[in-house]
Amino acid sequence: MRVALIVLMALGLTACATVQKLPAANDVHALLISIRDEDEATFDSLVDRPALQREIADRLAAEGAKDKRYGALASILAPGLAQLAGDSLIRPSVFRAVAEHYGYTAQTKIPNVLEISQALRQLPDGRVCAITKKDGPCLLDFTKAPDGHWKLSGFEGSTSMLRLKH
């Protein structure tokens, strides 16, 4: 009887976590569709642009400062250039390239909301992140906005994936 109770409690907690991730998965699904369709308006509504821009700019500036040949110059110029790059990189076409890196092409069927919820991990600070495999690293971070929508607020993948299409 005690074992059955423990199993039921564990299943209940798992279901609760899934239910909490479903609203986020719904917005992630909408974001994926906006990326696939290059729908800038929907994409912009599902992105916390200031947070994402700040993170990308900070990471690009840090990477530029590590350059041994141009480190001093990079530390002076990098913040402004990174800010400009951050503005330019927050576009559906750029994140389409990230999706393609993980196997989602224009021909790939976008997973349904339940499947997406299984690829989301709750973080201790209340955000959720998208992972590509169980126990894998986070790739995209989402934060619940005051309007109730979950918005893309962080990118943890390699900045080399963030490329403008020519």
Domain residue ranges in the chain? 2-47+90-161
Average pLDDT on 70-74 reads: 63
Question: How much is the pLDDT for 63?
Answer: 74
Cα 77 → chain centroid: 27
Q: What is the pLDDT of residue 99?
A: 81
Please report, for residues 4, 14, 53, 69, 75, the alpha-carbon distance to residue 25 in angstroms, rounded to integers and kept in the order given: 30, 16, 22, 44, 38
As a whole number of angstroms, the distance between CA 112 and CA 114 comes to: 6
Percent of the chain with pLDDT over 70: 73
Report the pLDDT averaged over residues 15-40. Answer: 82
* pLDDT score of 32 more than 50: yes
Quick one: tokens of 134? Answer: 């169980």
pTM as predicted: 0.78
Report, as an integer, the average pLDDT of 16-42: 85
Q: Average of pLDDT values for 45-71? A: 80
